[in-house]
Amino acid sequence: MARIIPENKNIDLHHNIPDILPVKNEGFEEWSIRIIPRAPTTCKNYLSPNRRDFYKIMYATKGVGVFTIGLKTYYIDQPTILFLHPNEIISWQKLNAESEGYIVFFKRSMADNHPLLKAQIDKYQLFTDSNKSVIRLSPEDIPEMDGIFRQMAAVDMIHSDTLAEDAMQAYLLLLMIAATKSARYAQPDAITDEFKHIHDFFHLLEEETARLNYDTPIQIRTAKEFADKLFVHPNHLNALLKRHTGLNVSAHIKNRLLEESKVLLLRTDWTLQNIGYAIGFSDQPNFSQFFKKNTGMTPVEYRKSKGL
């Protein structure tokens, strides 16, 4: 029988934890792969609802917690390795003070630029098939995994070396082979209806913002509109999100539109009118007012601050 996982409490948003991830939320730093140790100071409760620019591997050797991938929830209380695709909605809640192991982040562009790595990702399906994403490890697996991660960490310390990325690619291949060799795919535990509502909200928010264009602006942007789509009462949805993430529906929508605005300002040459229209503003002054109120600078000043 599947275990009923306790409800998550006080779970933070991934991008609000700057020390857990070596990349800023609005930055586009020139890095391809990073590895950091899991430790109580870096492994915290978090929720990552938005599409990310990187794949993630979490290797947990000590520590107890609840990990969710999409609508699958796993109770992690033994050595486990997790392979996480950039598009998955994920969350982590610690249940004790221990945290040991490593976390690896590597960008989509690294996979795109290395055909062999991309082929192996497709072949083993650890990132693309959520039924294979969580693998329990036996005591016999640990020495091999520890060795690969230690070698990766040593390479990452000298990442300016011109051959470092090739070496890291080879280690990623070894990790996928070693994990597949184990093939003890974890079965998900039962989830609460509350978490399903939270997942569905973030999935809908991502669906709405992922296709933004000045020809296809966002269609729904109020708490009531999202609640209606999800067939729940707005007050109930607000209460769930406030309890589990500390923010209500409107705040999540605002933050997501603000993030998308920053990306469009940095990655496109669209006019402010077009960007504002895409995220739901009827005119440019209202968009500029929204942006300045939440960032402290106008959209033009933000572009200039990034050298654009």
Quickly state the pLDDT bin for 237 (edges 50, 70, 90).
Answer: very high
Please state, in angstroms and rounded to a whole number, the distance separating the CA atoms of residues 195 and 7: 8
Please state the domain extents for the chain: 14-182, 193-305
* pLDDT at 10 > cutoff 50: no
Q: What percent of the chain has pLDDT over 70?
A: 83
Q: If you write DSSP's letter for every residue of 172-218 in order, what string do you get?
A: HHHHHHHHHHH--BPPPBB--HHHHHHHHHHHHHHHHHHT-BTTB--
Nearest Cα to Cα of residue 269 among 298, 227, 303: 303
The 8-class DSSP code of residue 171 comes to H
Confirm if 104 and 153 have CB atoms less than 8 A apart.
no
pLDDT at 228 over 70: yes
- Structurally, what CATH architecture does the domain formed by 14-182 represent? Sandwich (2.60)
The pLDDT tens digits of the residues spanning 13-56 come to 444 444 444 334 434 456 788 898 887 656 666 677 666 788 99
Rounded CA gap, 308 and 302, in Å?
Answer: 9
* Residue 104 in tokens: 């690896």
Q: Which amino acid is it at 201?
A: F
pLDDT for the residue 157: 59
Closest CA to 238 of 253, 258, 260, 217: 253
pLDDT of residue 42: 61
Q: Does domain 193-305 have CATH number 3.10.20.30?
A: no
Mean pLDDT, range 246-269, rounded to an integer = 87
Instruction: Tell me if 131 sits within 8 A of 66, measured CB to CB.
Output: no
Mean pLDDT of the chain: 83
pLDDT at 126: 95
Rounded to two decimals, what is the model's pTM? 0.68
What does the pLDDT look like over 156-165, one tens digit per residue? 655 556 678 8
Range list of β-strands (E), 23-174: 33-37, 46-48, 54-62, 65-69, 72-76, 80-84, 90-94, 100-107, 134-136
Other C-beta atoms lying within 10 Å of the C-beta of residue 80: 22
